[in-house]
Structure 1
Amino acid sequence: MMGVSFVSTVPSVLPLQAQVASSPPPPPPYSSSFAAAVAPPARSVVVRCKMENSVADGKELSRRDVLKCVGASIGIELIASSGSFVELAHAADLIQRRQRSEFLSNVKDTLYTAIKGNPDLIPSLLTLALNDAMTYDKASKSGGPNGSIRLSSEISRPENKGLSAAMNLLEEAKKEIDSYSKGGPISYADLIQYAAESAVKATFLASAIRKCGGNEEKGGLLYTAYGSNGQWGLFERQFGRSDTAEPDPEGRVPQWEKASVKEMKDKFSAIGFGPRQLAVMYLFLGPDQKATETLLATDPDVSPWVQKYQRSRETVSQTDYEVDLITALTKLSSLGQQINYEAYTYPVPRVDLGKLKL
Structure 2
Amino acid sequence: MGFVSFISTLPTLLPIAPLPSYNSSKCPIHSGTISCRIVDGGSTENGVRRRDILNCFGAAISMELVASSTPTPSPFVEVANAADLIQRRQRSEFQSSIKTTLYTAIKANQELIPSLLTLALNDAMTYDKATKSGGPNGSIRFSSEISRPENKGLSAALSLVEDAKKEIDSYSKGGPISYSDLIQLAAQSALKATFLASAIRKCGGNEEKGNLLYSAYGSSGQWGLFDRQFGRSDAQEPDPEGRVPDWSKASVQEMKEKFIAIGFGPRQLAVMSAFLGPDQLATEAMLAMDPDVTKWVEKYQRSRETVSETDYEVDLITTLTKMSCLGQTINYEAYSYPVQKIDFSKLKL
Which bracket does the TM-score occupy, shorter chain normalised?
0.7 to 0.9
TM-superposed deviation, 1:88: 1.0
Partner of 2:93: 102
Q: Which runs of 5+ in 2 are unaligned?
A: 1-16, 33-71, 343-349
| Residue 327 (structure 1) aligned to one of 290, 302, 318 | 318
| Cα distance in 1, alignment partners of residues 102 and 289 from structure 2 | 36
| Cα distance in 1, alignment partners of residues 232 and 264 from structure 2 | 21
Higher relative contact order (CA 8 A, sep 6+): 2
| Cα distance in 2, alignment partners of residues 42 and 125 from structure 1 | 62
* TM-score for the superposition, normalised by structure 1: 0.76
Partner of 1:243: 234
* 1:166-210 deviation line (CA, Å, top 9, x unaligned): 000111111110111000000000000000000111111111111
Partner of 1:229: 220
TM-superposed deviation, 1:347: 1.3
| Residue 210 (structure 1) aligned to one of 198, 201, 226 | 201
Quick one: which amino acid aligns to residue 206 of structure 1? A
Partner of 1:184: 175
Quick one: which amino acid aligns to residue 179 of structure 1? S
TM-superposed deviation, 1:287: 1.3
| Cα distance in 2, alignment partners of residues 132 and 277 from structure 1 | 17
CA pair 43-174 structure 1, distance change in 2 beyond 3 A: farther
Query: Within the alignment, does 1:267 sit opposite 2:258 as a pair?
Result: yes
Partner of 1:200: 191
| Residue 286 (structure 1) aligned to one of 277, 280, 283 | 277
Query: Within the alignment, does 1:258 sit opposite 2:245 as a pair?
Result: no
| Cα distance in 2, alignment partners of residues 118 and 169 from structure 1 | 9
Query: Within the alignment, does 1:316 sit opposite 2:343 as a pair?
Result: no
| Cα distance in 1, alignment partners of residues 169 and 79 from structure 2 | 30
| Cα distance in 1, alignment partners of residues 18 and 140 from structure 2 | 40
Quick one: which amino acid aligns to residue 202 of structure 2? K
Overall identity of the aligned pairs, in %: 78
TM-superposed deviation, 1:122: 0.2
Quick one: which amino acid aligns to residue 152 of structure 2? K
Quick one: which amino acid aligns to residue 175 of structure 1? K
| Cα distance in 2, alignment partners of residues 164 and 221 from structure 1 | 35
| Cα distance in 2, alignment partners of residues 198 and 268 from structure 1 | 23
Contact 1:25 / 1:99 at 8 angstroms: preserved in 2? no
| Cα distance in 1, alignment partners of residues 30 and 124 from structure 2 | 53
TM-superposed deviation, 1:24: 3.8
Quick one: which amino acid aligns to residue 222 of structure 1? L
Partner of 2:56: none
Quick one: which amino acid aligns to residue 91 of structure 1? A
Query: Within the alignment, does 1:344 sit opposite 2:335 as a pair?
Result: yes
| Cα distance in 1, alignment partners of residues 20 and 171 from structure 2 | 15
Superposition CA RMSD, Å: 2.4
TM-superposed deviation, 1:85: 2.0
CA pair 162-23 structure 1, distance change in 2 beyond 3 A: closer
Partner of 1:83: 74
| Cα distance in 2, alignment partners of residues 118 and 83 from structure 1 | 52
* 1:117-160 deviation line (CA, Å, top 9, x unaligned): 10000000000000000000010000000000000010000000
Q: Which runs of 5+ in 1 are unaligned?
A: 1-21, 27-32, 45-80, 352-358
Contact 1:92 / 1:348 at 8 angstroms: preserved in 2? no
Query: Within the alignment, does 1:118 sit opposite 2:116 as a pair?
Result: no
Quick one: which amino acid aligns to residue 325 of structure 2? S
TM-superposed deviation, 1:23: 7.7
Contact 1:25 / 1:95 at 8 angstroms: preserved in 2? no
TM-superposed deviation, 1:42: 11
| Residue 130 (structure 2) aligned to one of 127, 139, 159 | 139
